[in-house]
Chain A
Amino acid sequence: MASQWGVVEPFPIYLVKSRYFLYDANVVSHVRASHRMCGCLTGTLPQIPQQNVFLGLPLELMTEEAALLVEKGAGYIVNDIQAHSQGLKSMLEADKAAYLEAREAESIREMQALQKAAEERRKAFRTPKPASLKDNDGEEEETGEEGKIRDGEEDKVGATVFETDTAKTKLSNAVDPAPPSTLRYYPVPATSEALYHALPTSPGLLEARVLEPAPSETSYPLYKHLHEHNYFLSPGLRFGCQFMAYPGDPLRFHSHFVVTGLGWDEEIEMRDVVGGGRLGTGVKKAWMVGGENKDKPGEVRTFCVEWGGF
């Protein structure tokens, strides 16, 4: 069953060093529209890695999001590093040779183009010979001995502005074609998935359950509870909590709650309750605290705290 974006569930979620990533823009759209998960865009520009205003793919998922997607059967976890090296190993010899050949051909083509451009630049520089240069040639012939000595020097140096016929031929030889290894561009396909990744046939991996994410026991039930009540949740570290809860897509709504998950018997200082209440009220939200009822597994209790106003 493919979605509007051509995404087939379960889709792969890539695990790199205990962080979960989505690389495909279609999967990102699908997850946002169908699963109410926004994640965090983490990709920046290689040239300006400091800028963090306009981030792009890949999308990093919270552990809770990855866990819920796996639990729903919408996604499965792929160990990215392992799948990559496995994919490289299992690449067919013929494919590898064909790829290397294509790369070689492309670099030769590139080199020839570069050489041709250099040749043209040189030609453009030489053809409209100005009168002053011709005069120079004449002078050199007249000076005789001195001119010959200069010619000799030119041979060694390879190129100067004052060119004689012999120097011209030497000059074209002096530009060695650059060895292919110094060229900076190699054709690399935009997506590496098909090339390098050995993706397991999906149901098999779901059964293995080895890579199932293990989110925190205090936050996951609360995350799931709010998710089931149609809230969008995003990481809340920037706002002094665990999650921000939006009543709809964060592009359309302000968040309603700053959420903190607690264990059923985890003690909380009154001062932290007051601080939480202030934190929420200060930004026109409520501070929510909640967790799973240990006596009734599956039941999640939540409490919303706001300043009393007097």
Chain B
Amino acid sequence: MTTPTDTTTPHLQDLVQTVHKNLKHLADWSSLVIHSSPSFPRPLITGLPPDPVYIDPDSASTYNAEDKNSPERSQHEWVLPVDLREKWTLRKWAQMFDSLPEGYWGESGGKVRGKRILLAVVSDDSTVVHYVVHDGIVKPRQN
């Protein structure tokens, strides 16, 4: 299921390239890096979004969007490219999160935050939609 050969299939390479281009040119992300380590079930992308993808609702009132040095601003995000036609299971999600490096994942609202990834779903018309997936019970942000 998570053999290293998976990461080299042309299908996955295409998927990663599509999402990478989308993030770089459309969503204006910076510091984009593609990780195709065999420890991951498939190639992943990390990068820095122009705006934080998640702000803890408890710190939403103190968060200052102008402050370029706030901890929320410097959070690099992991991006998981998937095809719309794929089917996932809880087991695959869990393996995905467990393969991500352990340790310090940054802070959110003064609290050390857990793991999260950005799910980039690619449709066959090359539309890409992004969904934040948190590992564990995480309060929804304030919209």
Contacts and interface: CB of A to CB of B under 8 A. Distances in A.
Interface of B: 27, 49, 51, 53-54, 82-91, 93-94, 118-119, 121, 129-143
A264 B140 contact: no
Interface string A273-291: 1100100110011101111
B89 A308 contact: no
- How many chain A residues sit at the interface, stated as a range, is 35 or more
Given A247-B139, A303-B135, 14 more contacts: A226-B137, A268-B87, A270-B82, A273-B119, A274-B129, A284-B142, A286-B138, A304-B137, A304-B138, A305-B131, A306-B132, A308-B119, A309-B51, A310-B49
B89 A265 contact: yes
B89 A264 contact: yes
A270 B90 contact: no
Contacts of A281: 140, 143
B74 to A, nearest CB: 18
A270 B15 CA distance: 15
Contacts of B88: 267-268, 270, 273
A248 to B, nearest CB: 13
A281 B54 CA distance: 13
A147 interface: no
A271 B84 contact: yes
Contact of A256 (B27, B119, B131, B140): B140
Nearest to B142: A284
A308 B121 CA distance: 11
